[in-house]
Amino acid sequence: MTQDELKKAAAWAALEFVKENTIVGVGTGSTVNHFIDALGTVKDTLVGAVSSSEASTARLKELGIEVFELNDIDALDVYIDGADEINAQNEMIKGGGAALTREKIVAAVAKQFVCIVDDTKLVDTLGEFPLPVEVIPMARSYVARELLKLGGDPVYRQGVVTDNGNVILDVYNLNITNAKQLETDINQIVGVVTNGLFAMRGADKVIIGTKNGPQIK
Ligand SMILES: O=C[C@H](O)[C@H](O)[C@H](O)COP(=O)(O)O
């Protein structure tokens, strides 16, 4: 099976976590795009969705799924999203598609975070994938210098502006042994909006696309 077929299998398996007559939290990325396609097949049973990016919002609307503003809802049962890396503690690196901040906000509201990944995303130690950090544009050089002090090698993601109007620094060469601490430390740097570590709020369930079918843990 190709990596995309594994993503698709994990994404469609996530439908079992979607309850009738609810609003579903929807993440961003190529794995989630498969999940949105799956949601389209059950759209008549849903109230609608809350989205973590302009790209996912457009795709949901194309399929006729109503998209609600997060500020207009009180609670969210489930949030379904992909990841760039995930470890055995269900801590993740996210933000390869620059959607990390809105993803972290929707994940914070949701009662349950279901992560959908192909099995290439499983790692023993987070950090081989460069850690995305969303930064206020005028703080970019300052934040980069502070990230160097934390032991990483930040690289400006040229040409990318987030849905929030900010920029991304991708931090290479981090060997992340304490993800919660690093998540907290990076968030303390003035000018950082969010970093792509999802450790303080990790996934509650993981659906892994494998050649033997989707596995839930
Ligand atoms: O900003 C993007 C998100 O965090 C994605 O969930 C993550 O990059 C995984 O994307 P994909 O499913 O395309 O591998």
Is 30 a pocket residue for ligand 1 (Cβ < 6 Å)? yes
Q: What is the band of 152 on the pLDDT scale with cuts at 50, 70, 90?
A: very high
Q: How far is the CA of 34 from the centre of ligand 1 (A)?
A: 12
Token pair of 68 as six digits? 């609600």
For a substitution probing ligand 1, which of 86, 94, 102 has the most ligand atoms within 8 Å of its CB? 94
Residues forming the active site: 103
pLDDT, tens digit (0-9, with 9 covering 90-100), for 16-74: 999 999 999 999 999 999 999 999 999 999 999 999 999 999 999 999 999 999 999 99
Is 130 a pocket residue for ligand 1 (Cβ < 6 Å)? no
Q: How far is the CA of 93 from the centre of ligand 1 (A)?
A: 9
Q: In the block, which residue shows the tokens 């450790």?
A: 199
pLDDT, tens digit (0-9, with 9 covering 90-100), for 153-209: 999 999 999 999 999 999 999 989 999 999 999 999 999 999 999 999 999 999 999
For a substitution probing ligand 1, which of 31, 81, 121, 162 has the most ligand atoms within 8 Å of its CB? 31
Q: Judge whether 31 is annotated as a binding position.
A: yes
Please give the ipTM for the structure prediction.
0.98
Token pair of 212 as six digits? 């033997």
Those residues with Cβ within 8 angstroms of residue 34's Cβ, 6 or more apart along the chain or in another chain: 7, 8, 11, 12
Question: Residue 175: what pLDDT?
Answer: 83
Task: Tell me which residue has its CA closest to atom 5 in ligand 1.
Answer: 29
Nearest to 84 by CA among 31, 159, 133: 31
Q: How would DSSP label each residue in the chain?
A: --HHHHHHHHHHHGGGGPPTT-EEEE--SHHHHHHHHHHHTTGGG--EEEESSHHHHHHHHHTT--EE-GGG-S-EEEEEE--SEE-TTS-EE--TTS-HHHHHHHHHHEEEEEEEEEGGGB-SSBTSSPEEEEE-GGGHHHHHHHHHHTT-EEEE-TT---TTS-EEEEEES--BS-HHHHHHHHHTSTTEEEESEE-TT--SEEEEEETTEEEE-
The answer to whether 17 touches 80, Cβ cutoff 8 Å, is yes
